[in-house]
Structure 1
Amino acid sequence: MQYATHVSSQSDLTARARIREAAITLFADRGIEGATIRDIAQAASVSSGLLRHHFGSKEGLRDACDEWVLGQLTGISARFATLQVFDHISPEILLWQRYMIRSLMDGSPTGAALFDRLIDFGEQWLAGTDLKVQDPRAFVAVLSVMKLSLFTMRDQLSRVLGVDTGEPEGWVRMLKASVEIFSQLLVTPEHAELMLQALDRVHTPEEQP
């Protein structure tokens, strides 16, 4: 769905940004369906009419929020990959992550399209590495779901760790553990090759004689 892109003045730019930021916060906290146009407009201190002028509809606003958050998080991921890491965790990063999870998990075609874009970004990243994998799309998709589960399982993970992983202290502890996991040789290359060969011999129902 298309949304309005015309901006007539600096004040319009400010209002547009306020609307987007208010929407991201409310969508992250309440879900897409749980936040109304009126709620978002009130939080941004604008009229519902101005919101519709800028974005056309709530779905158009959601598209703009998806685009903004995806751009921010992929940029951060690229900086982490080159070890240009931050010396602090900003509230914005945690908010964007909560928003992304809400958007991906709402079961809508828009959420599915966002996940597809994440996978496409992951495939581009993989192509720029020296990693050799048999099935690049499956590799990226499974890795993405594994990483996203750190956030979709936030309540359970926070409970067993005794600290909220949606807050800076717990977030750092969670990511440090994930770095340690990925830095370990959990399966030797020889064992991995044997497992892959065994899986190649598994027949799916369609392949049964």
Structure 2
Amino acid sequence: MSSGSDLTARARIREAAIALFAERGVASASIRDIAQAAGVSSGLLRHHFGSKEGLRDACDEWAMSRVVQIQMRFTELGTFGPVDPEFLVLQRYLVRSLMDGSPRGMAMFTQAVEHGEQWLAGTSLQSADPRAFAAVLGAMKLGMFVMRDQLTAVLGEDAGELPGYLRMIRASVEIFTQPLLTREQADQALKALDRLVDS
């Protein structure tokens, strides 16, 4: 995330909220805690955002737009750069929002699926159901972050922090770069599924 005293009070509040919401969840992060972390008064926080719900709305919008920007930059470059600490925090925030089961989290997942469909349309990948393809791919990728505690226990290092995060991502790249089914196995599975639909 950004650092330095040049941040506006609004930006400092938003960053503090994203960090605390990601760590504790929305319900457990109070207005007072967020204001204290941002170095402002609770009154100034309410002046800028109105309420915790208003602040969360602003955080959701900011986090989603920043993650999309970072992912688009990766797609355009076609290569990994240094892992941005801001990205890790935003990713934790978005995962926490989904885990909270809020309408906002659902809306963000839907938006992510729509971005996935747009990405799929620009590739040579084939799918009879692009919506399902993008949705399931998104859910599979998010599953790594939802199960951070379980992965951390199994890997012996925090999967949400470097170097455990890099180890997890490296494994996912290895998985996505090699087929787990032969073409014949895939065809057989698809035909079996078609028969179930028709029965």
Does the pair score TM above 0.5? yes
Return 5+ residue gaps in structure 1 as ranges: 1-10
Which whole-Å deviations, capped at 9, do the CAs of 1:20-62 have from their partners, x for residues lacking one? 0110011011101111111111211212222122112211111
Matched, 1:195 2:189: yes
**TM-score, length of structure 1 as denominator length:** 0.86
Q: How much has 1:164 moved relative to structure 2?
A: 1.0
> Which one-letter code corresponds to 2:80 in the other structure?
V
The answer to whether the 8 A contact 1:79-1:85 is kept is no
User: 2: distance between equivalents of 1:136 and 1:102?
Assistant: 26
CA RMSD of aligned residues (A): 1.9
Matched, 1:122 2:122: no
Matched, 1:145 2:139: yes
User: 1: distance between equivalents of 2:171 and 2:6?
Assistant: 44
The answer to whether the 8 A contact 2:60-2:104 is kept is no
User: 1: distance between equivalents of 2:127 and 2:189?
Assistant: 14
Aligned equivalent of 1:100: 94
| Matching residue within 83, 86, 111 for 1:89 | 83
Q: SS state of the match for residue 202, structure 1?
A: helix
User: 1: distance between equivalents of 2:97 and 2:90?
Assistant: 10
User: 2: distance between equivalents of 1:34 and 1:121?
Assistant: 31
Aligned equivalent of 1:169: 163
User: 1: distance between equivalents of 2:165 and 2:33?
Assistant: 29
Aligned residues: 194
Return 5+ residue gaps in structure 2 as ranges: none
Which whole-Å deviations, capped at 9, do the CAs of 1:104-158 have from their partners, x for residues lacking one? 1101111111111111111111111121101111111111111001111111111
Q: How much has 1:191 moved relative to structure 2?
A: 2.2
Aligned equivalent of 1:31: 25
Q: SS state of the match for residue 58, structure 2?
A: helix
Aligned equivalent of 1:5: none
The answer to whether the 8 A contact 1:31-1:103 is kept is yes
> Which one-letter code corresponds to 1:138 in the other structure?
A
| Matching residue within 173, 176, 181 for 1:179 | 173
> Which one-letter code corresponds to 1:196 in the other structure?
L
The answer to whether the 8 A contact 2:35-2:41 is kept is yes
User: 2: distance between equivalents of 1:59 and 1:124?
Assistant: 30
User: 2: distance between equivalents of 1:12 and 1:53?
Assistant: 20
Aligned equivalent of 1:66: 60
The answer to whether the 8 A contact 1:24-1:65 is kept is yes
| Matching residue within 29, 36, 41 for 1:42 | 36
Q: Displaced runs of 4+ in structure 1, greater than 3 A?
A: none
The answer to whether the 8 A contact 2:94-2:105 is kept is no
User: 1: distance between equivalents of 2:24 and 2:30?
Assistant: 10
**TM-score, length of structure 2 as denominator length:** 0.90
